[in-house]
Structure 1
Amino acid sequence: MSLGDDGYRSGQGSGGDGGGYGGYDADDHHLTRTRLPEGEVDPYAPQRRPVRPSRNLITIVAVVVLLVAAIAFANRGGDKSSHGDDENSAKGGSSATAPSGVKPVEGKNGGIPSGFAHDEQGAQSAAANFAVLMGGDGMFKTDRRHAIVEAIYTPAAAAKLKQPQDDAYSPDFLKRLGLDSSGNPPQGKLFISRTVPVGTKVESYSEDTAKVSVWYSGLIGMAGAGSTDPVRTTWKTWTFTLRWTDGDWKVEDDNQRDGPAPVPQDMPAASAEDITKAVKEYGGFTYAR
Structure 2
Amino acid sequence: MSLGDDHQSSGGYGGTGQTRLRLPEPEGGPRRGGRSSSRSLITVVGVVVLLIAAIAFANRGGDGSASAKGAAGNKPDASSTAPSGTRPVQSGFAHDEQGAQSAAANYAEALGSDGMFDKGKRDAILQAVVVPDRVADFQATMDKAYTPAFNKNVGLNEDGSTPKGYTFVSRTSPIGSKVTERSADRTTVEVWCNGLLGLAGQNSTSPVTSTWFTITVQLQWADDDWKIVTHSQKDGPAPIPGDDKASTADEMAKAVQEYGGFTYAR
2:250 counterpart of 1:273: yes
Aligned counterpart for 1:208 among listed residues 173, 185, 188? 185
**What are the residue-to-residue correspondences of 1:127-142 with 2, within 5 Å?**
127-142=104-119
Equivalent residue for 1:115? 92
Report SS of the residue matched to 2:157.
coil
Q: Which residue of 2 aligns with 1:184?
A: 161
Aligned partners of 1:262, 1:179: CA distance in 2, in Å?
A: 29
The partner residue of 1:167 within 144, 148, 156 is 144
Partner Cα distance (1:288, 1:187) in 2: 33
Give how far 1:208 is off: 0.4
Aligned partners of 1:262, 1:157: CA distance in 2, in Å? Answer: 35
Structure 1 residue runs of 4 or more that deviate by more than 6 Å after TM superposition:
none
Equivalent residues of 1:142, 1:182 under 8 A apart: no
1:254: Cα distance to partner?
A: 0.8
TM-score by length of 2: 0.65
Structure with greater Cα Rg: 1
> Given the alignment, which residue of 90, 106, 109 partners 2:89?
106
Matches within 5 A, 1:1-289: 106-107=89-90, 115-289=92-266
Q: In structure 2, what is the Cα distance between the partners aligned to 1:179 and 1:249?
A: 33
Output the aligned Cα RMSD: 1.4
- Alignment-mate amino acid for residue 159 of structure 2: S
Q: Helix, strand or coil for the counterpart of 2:171?
A: strand
CA distance in 2, matches of 1:150, 1:119: 22
Measured in 1, the distance between the counterparts of 2:226 and 2:159 equals 30
Q: Which whole-Å deviations, capped at 9, do the CAs of 1:46-68 have from their partners, x for residues lacking one?
A: xxxxxxxxxxxxxxxxxxxxxxx
Q: CA deviation at 1:271?
A: 0.1
Identity across matched positions, percent: 52
Q: What secondary structure does 1:283 align onto?
A: coil
Q: Kindly provide the amino acid, as one letter, of the partner of residue 106 in structure 1.
A: V
Higher RCO (CA < 8 A, seq sep 6+): 2
Residues in 2 aligned to 1:274 and 1:136: alpha-carbon distance in whole angstroms: 20
Runs of at least 5 residues in structure 1 that lack an aligned partner in the other structure: 1-103, 108-113
Corresponding residue SS for 2:195: strand
Code of the residue aligned with 1:213 in structure 2: it is E
Deviations 1:124-159 (A, max 9, x none): 000000000000100000000000111110112111
| Distance in 1 (alpha carbons) for counterparts of 2:120 and 2:138 | 14
CA distance in 2, matches of 1:288, 1:117: 13
In structure 1, what residue type is equivalent to 2:142?
Answer: Q
Q: Secondary structure at the match of 1:178?
A: coil
Matches of 1:196 and 1:106 in 2, distance apart? Answer: 19
Over 3 Å counting, the alpha-carbon distance change for 1:268 and 1:227 in structure 2 is same
The one-letter code matched in structure 2 to 1:132 is: E
Following TM superposition, by how much is the alpha carbon of 1:105 offset from its aligned partner in structure 2, in angstroms?
5.8
For 1:171 and 1:286, the matched residues in 2 are separated by 28
TM-score by length of 1: 0.60
